[in-house]
Amino acid sequence: MKRTLITTVTLNAALDKTYVLPRFALHTANRVGRMLVYPGGKGVNMARVVHQLGGDVLAAGFAAGWNGERLAAELDARGVKHRFVPACGESRLALTIIDEEAEREASSGAGLARAVTELIEPGHRVTPQQLEALLETVQELARQSYIVALCGSLPEGAPADTYAALVEAARAEGALVFVDSSGAALAASLGARPDLIKPNAPEAAGLLGAPVPSDEASAVALLRQLIGADDRGGLPAAGPQTSCPDPSASLSAGITATSDTARNAPKAGADGALSGGEDKPCLRPALPYAVLTLGADGALAASREDGLLRVRVPAVPARSAVGCGDAFFAGLALGFARGLPFPEALRLAAATGTAVSLQLEAGAADPADVQRLLKLVAVERLEG
């Protein structure tokens, strides 16, 4: 029987609150007109969206303290399966403040970003023993899963190569492994060769030490650099390419790399950029799929079977961009789980991410909006 379960793993989950104010002003008291409370963090948002679209999904990761208990209770209330490992301290609060006056201005072209302010706490911390418990949990869940999605930032106490070990553990159990992270955590995961990565443009630029793309041509160049395309734009062949060992890299005592791949993961500097040491560039392994999201400008993607793809999304009256990337990832994973070809999985991803932008609550997707937007998303192959 084919596996259908999508397991999301969020190491730094959150309890999200959205405050809607008539006008948000600094240096004074602000009265909230409307408040929303919901479970959050990248993988938790992803799990909620997959569930709303009828997919088989389970949210895993770390949760701590009262906020962690409330997070689990909110998932229960929404019918989302979960399995969290207890961590130390308190799971973080993530606050989103929406200024309705600025939002009205944004609708006339001033820019949605001015209407939204985010305040995100650092979150809980984890011990070596808790990391080991998470590794065992991921291994167990991977045996039942078609996809394991590793999402978001690492909590205090988790070494940068944690994702590399989790990638290998999940792949060893026969699951596809998708990664949506940034900085050193994403850099370290590449040595373990996940099946798909989905950085946004600033995350990819930071990873490669490149400027953030300002137009489509520079975004295409960034994606080609990310996947290790040759000078003619050709995609890398299957199989690992030259990687950059980091002899000093090691996991903490409570989580052990399952092979030399994780121990020799690409090295990232303090800014998260890849390096092979002594300022030598680090070649990325040849990944089966890579997606570069561009916000309201859609996405670029690459696979060995389909080459370079451009995803264009329709203009919509967006309420918030918070959680749209997580929803895109949810649609993408669901497309894979349903056996869609990669271009059609991208179409579902883009429609889902755009649908969530219509909502105030991150991780809230209306299936009717997704179906309507599917017809408006364009996926085209690029030359070269």
Q: Give the pLDDT band (50/70/90) at residue 241.
A: very low
Give pLDDT tens digits for 49-108: 999 999 999 999 999 999 999 999 999 999 999 999 999 999 999 999 999 888 777 654
What Rg value do the Cα atoms of the chain yield, rounded?
Answer: 20
Q: Which domain holds residue 372?
A: 5-23+33-235+260-381
CATH of the domain at 202: 3.40.1190.20
Does residue 207 fall inside a structural domain? yes
* pLDDT for the residue 249: 37
User: ∠155-206-300 over CA atoms, to 5°?
Assistant: 105
* pLDDT for the residue 113: 65
* pLDDT for the residue 2: 74
- CA 360/CA 278 separation, integer angstroms: 46
* pLDDT for the residue 226: 85
Does residue 240 fall inside a structural domain? no
* pLDDT for the residue 262: 46
The mean pLDDT value for 34-61 works out to 96
* pLDDT for the residue 259: 46
pLDDT of residue 183 exceeding 60: yes
Q: Give the pLDDT band (50/70/90) at residue 231.
A: very low
* pLDDT for the residue 1: 67
Crossing angle for the helix pair 42-52 and 65-77, to the nearest 10 degrees: 10
**pLDDT higher for 260 or 353?**
353
CA 67, 68, 69, 74 torsion: positive or negative?
positive
* pLDDT for the residue 170: 97
Long-range contacts of 108-112, Cβ-Cβ distance < 8 Å, separation of 24 or more: 112/318, 112/320, 112/321
The mean pLDDT value for 182-205 works out to 93
Average pLDDT, the chain: 86
User: Is 52 in contact with 75 (CB distance < 8 Å)?
Assistant: no
Amino acid in position 10: T
The mean pLDDT value for 145-174 works out to 96
Does residue 247 fall inside a structural domain? no
Does residue 249 fall inside a structural domain? no
DSSP calls for 66-127: HHHHHHHHHHHHTT-EEEEEE-BS-PEEEEEEEEHHHHHHIIIII-GGGGEEEEE----B--
DSSP calls for 237-287: PSS-------TT----TTS--SSHHHHTPPEE-TT--EE-STT---PPP--
DSSP state of 156: B
pLDDT of residue 275 exceeding 50: no
- CA 312/CA 296 separation, integer angstroms: 9
What 3-state class would DSSP assign to 5?
Answer: strand
Q: Give the pLDDT band (50/70/90) at residue 272.
A: low
Q: Give the pLDDT band (50/70/90) at residue 294.
A: very high
* pLDDT for the residue 107: 58
**pLDDT higher for 235 or 160?**
160
Pairing of strands 116-120, 57-63: unpaired
End-to-end CA distance of the chain: 39
Measured in degrees and rounded to the nearest 5, phi and psi for residue 349 equal: -60, -50
pTM of the predicted protein model: 0.86
Looking at the chain, the whole-number percentage of residues with pLDDT higher than 70 is 82
Does residue 97 fall inside a structural domain? yes
Q: Tokens for 173?
A: 């159990």
* pLDDT for the residue 5: 94
* pLDDT for the residue 311: 97
pLDDT of residue 230 exceeding 50: no
What 3-state class would DSSP assign to 162?
Answer: helix
User: What is the number of structural domains in the chain?
Assistant: 1
pLDDT of residue 208 exceeding 60: yes
pLDDT of residue 21 exceeding 80: yes
- CA 62/CA 132 separation, integer angstroms: 12
What 3-state class would DSSP assign to 56?
Answer: coil
Least confidently predicted of 183-192, 216-225, 256-265? 256-265
Does residue 28 fall inside a structural domain? no
* pLDDT for the residue 273: 52
Q: Give the pLDDT band (50/70/90) at residue 331.
A: very high
Does residue 194 fall inside a structural domain? yes
Does residue 242 fall inside a structural domain? no
Measured in degrees and rounded to the nearest 5, phi and psi for residue 133 equal: -65, -40
Q: Give the pLDDT band (50/70/90) at residue 278.
A: very low
The mean pLDDT value for 143-168 works out to 96
